[in-house]
Homo-oligomer: A and B are copies of this chain.
Amino acid sequence: MKNKINVAIIGLGQIGNFLYNEISLKKKDIELKTGKIIDIIAVSAKNKNKKRKYKIDKKIFYSNPLKIIKEKKIDILFEVIGQSDGISKKIVEQSLKNKIHVITPNKALISKHGDYLSNLAEKNKVNLEFEAAVAGGIPIIRTIKEGLATNKISKVYGILNGTCNYILTQMEKTKDSFSNVLKEAQRLGYAEPINPKLDLNGYDALAKVKILSALAFNRKISKFNTLMEGIEKIEAKDFEIVDKLKLRIKLLGITEIINNQLFERVHPCLVDKNSYIGNVNDVMNAVILDGYPVGESILQGEGAGPGPTSSALMSDLLSILRGNIKYPFGIPFKNRRKIINYNKDFYENSLYLRLEVKDKPGVLSSITKILAKNKISVRRLIQIPDNKKKTASIVIITHKCKELNSRRCIKLFKSNKNINKEPVLIRLFN
């Protein structure tokens, strides 16, 4: 690698703009650590004249990022737009084909096209680095690929979405409603202002889970439609109830190998208040790995925002500058086999069920009958009457039962006229 390295940044939103400033500030430090002198010679974004926190050099601005590749000799390109397809995919594809190293925090792109793009990178002998795609500032990808390189990893799980974790933490603290807390999160910049859905419904966390699985188990990225549930249905009432049970609600992303099959999932979980994972709060992320021979490893840090994301992007940059040409997923593309997916119907869990019912004779008996019919046995039952409204909340903690049975049960509850609202189901984490 030559000594002068030309860099392009595509996308100048909060993250791209922060990165632009970081690279400018850290030029000397980078030279000291790697012996390379880097220079940002091109940037691109939608709007040239938008007001930005850190001033950009407009002389190197391009409206069309693809033009940069044609006109300039770029060595390393940052894709910081964030689409799963469209221009994000195009620019990454074109760069790799032109033997340009690519660094991106784009989990939507990597979880969808990571196999194709990593193969492309390997063929062209350049890097495709995406440390920032999972858990922001936590160097989890480098840790799996390098720090724990020869461990046999059996399970990876954690809190992978800062928006959800912030909302759940605040709902517990304030006892306020989901929609109010969401509004506050949007005001503070912790949730997308226009469409926060992909964070809230578990999609974002699942994209990260898919990337983690591929890395931890040396497999192709799974395309399987697995268990994905978000936090939108959880109400203030649930926090009051689980608090008394010494439990806490967390949205977890989990991936593990069960009988040589891959089981990935994202859903709200009830965790012990005194557990480690139960005390990772607000926008913090955490990843826990079970490996042999290392044992349990935990990494915790800020999961999002320009600072932590830049930290990860810069670590990718230094890795490339130090000449670490590596397989994007740790092993060669051709050696990453496909994996059979575990049938989620067989997944066993204790459940927390909350049903809002009409407070009249026979209701409880009809509910327990449905449970019994579906082989779900009750470990604990709490009935909280609302005498004014003549309704009651029935909270049931079940023994372990199969996902298939719980799904059948929920379906029956939904069509039961004595149950007023859609039931709330939260799985106990074990």
Question: Which residues of A are in contact with B by a Cβ distance under 8 Å?
Answer: 18, 22, 26, 29-30, 32-33, 131, 137-139, 142-143, 146-151, 274, 276, 279, 286, 291-302, 306-308, 310-312, 314-315, 317-319, 322-324, 326-327, 330-332, 335
Contact = CB atoms under 8 A, between A and B. Distances in A.
B30 A150 contact: yes
B315 A295 contact: no
Given A315-B150, A318-B150, A302 B294 contact: yes
Contacts of A310: 293
A312 B311 CA distance: 23
A311 B291 contact: yes
A311 B330 contact: no
A368 to B, nearest CB: 38
Contacts of A29: 150
- Say how many copies of this protein the assembly contains: 2
What is the interface of chain A mostly: helix, strand, loop, or mixed?
mixed
A300 B297 contact: yes
A297 B146 contact: no
Contacts of A131: 147
B295 A33 contact: no
A162 to B, nearest CB: 11
Contact of A298 (B293, B298, B322): B298
Contact of A137 (B279, B294, B335): B294
A151 B312 CA distance: 10
A22 to B, nearest CB: 7
